[in-house]
Every structure is written in C-alpha cells, then in structure tokens.
Amino acid sequence: MNTHDLQTIANRIRRRDLQAVFDAGAGHIGGELSVIDLLTALYFKIMSVDPDDPLAPDRDRFVLSKGHTALALYTVLAEKGFIQKDEISTFLKPHSRLNGHPNRTKVPGVETNTGPLGHGLPIAVGMAMAAKLSGASWRTFVITGDGEMQEGSNWEAIMSAAHFQLGNLSLIIDHNRLQQGARLEETNDIAPFRPKLEAFGWTVEEIDGHDMDQICAALASVSITTNKPKCIVAHTNKGHGVSFMSDNVAWHHKVPNESQYKQAMAELEKAAP
C-alpha cells in the first residue's frame, strides 16, 4: 500500500474518530489524532495480522500502552475488518464492548487490556521474550505516550529488553509534548528521549510521526538491528489535523461542541488526499 493510500485511510479514520467522540460526548480526541498515522501504518502496511483469524499464532502483536486513546485503535480495527464499522457508533454506550480502555476479552484484535500507564511496555517485553524463546519470527510493537514515559516501570522494561537482546521489539513513543493538564516540560521533562534510550542499549530513530514515508521506513523489518530493541521517537502534534486542537493541552479529553465539530470535520475533509 503506497503513501497516498495510507494517508487516505488515516484521514478517514480521523473523521470517524472525531464523529464518535462528538456522538459519545467523551473521549481523548487530542491523543487519538496524534497517534492515528502511526496506527494506520502499523495495521495497513507493517504488521502481519488477519482479521479473520485474530489469534493466529504467527501474528504480529501490538500493544496500545496509552490505553485512553482506545477509540483510535477501535476505529483502525474496524477499518481493517476486525469489527464491524457500524459498531463504532456504540462507543461508551451501555453494554458496548468498546469501552474507554481496550479489553482483550471483548474486542478482536486487542492483545492486552491497558489503561494504567506504564503497563503496556512491560507486557510487550514479555511478548517479545516469548517469541524469542520459542524461535518465532513474529514481531511485537508498542505505543506509549511521552508523558507515560515518566513511569518507572517503563525504564525497568527498557533495561530488560536490552539485556535480553530483544531485536523483535519496537517501541514507538508518541511524542506530542503534552499530557493531561500540562506540557511535558512543565511536569517532568524527560525529553530528549534518544540519548536516554541509547544509553540503555537501544537503537533509536527520530521521525516525523505524521509523515507516512518516515513512519513506514522506521518500522520496516530491514531497519531492525538483530540483537537490539528499537525505539522510534515519533514527533507528533496533539489534535493533529484540526487547527484549534493542534498542540493545545485543553484537548486532551475535551469534547467539541456542535460548531467546533463542524469546523473540525470541514478541516479534515479539506485535508483529505
């Protein structure tokens, strides 16, 4: 699938995500818009997954550690065919399986429950370790938020991944510089990430997290160092694609009113490839 096709899919997913947040009256629209390009590249270009066999033993694994952006993952899974597209309209409704955080036992394609920050990367390390021990060729991918990287559990996992030489593990940091209520630099300025990960023995690449060519090149199997886990620091914008949401901390989990929704949808439609 070429870059134009991926951008078309990502833009369609953004519009559906926005609509679902507006209809539900809840969600984490800012972080969802920042991560959608990364998810689109993973599911439509990079990972080997089969919607008709979501538990295939040889599938690649993906963990959305920033589980509060579950709606972005649900919308990608629907676009890929893991769930019906019209199920997105049930997001957060009573008895819906599309909750505010992903649930492995309910939603096909979800590999593990996430929500408490700092849990996803340690789980992904375990998955990658299992593949290495069994001699399997599948890969493990995990996306964390940059604010989430303040959690100590992530750095324990980073040490372990390097020690066990997990070259089949790829960590993507959604580096949108914002977290709930404040900028990263105002809370616990853990950036820059690259020198820290490299000091722990990881291969690190920094990219524009909204450039499909850069995303796909960084995630491609040919970019992997055999015995080193890889970290991709993806520079993104919270609220990407919508002028008044972009790089605005207020839109961590704010819901647009009707006029804001119409403006945002118009901007996304205009930006469609």
pLDDT tens for the chain, 273 residues long, are 899 999 999 999 999 999 999 999 999 999 999 999 999 999 999 999 999 999 999 999 999 999 999 999 999 999 999 999 999 999 999 999 999 999 999 999 999 999 899 999 999 999 999 999 999 999 999 999 999 999 999 999 999 999 999 999 999 999 999 998 899 989 999 999 999 999 999 999 999 999 999 999 999 998 888 899 999 999 999 999 999 999 999 999 899 999 999 999 999 999 988
pLDDT in the model for residue 233: 98
Domain that holds residue 116: 3-49+57-271
Tell me the DSSP string of 70-103.
HHHHHHHHHHHTSS-GGGGGGTTSTT-S--SS--
For residue 223, what pLDDT is reported?
86
The model scores a pTM over 0.75: yes
Beta bridge partners of 152: none
Total domains in the chain come to 1
SS3 content of the chain, % helix, strand, coil (to 5): 45, 10, 40
CATH number, position 13: 3.40.50.970
pLDDT at 242: 98
Neighbour tally for 28: CB within 10 Å: 25
**3-class DSSP state for residue 46?**
helix
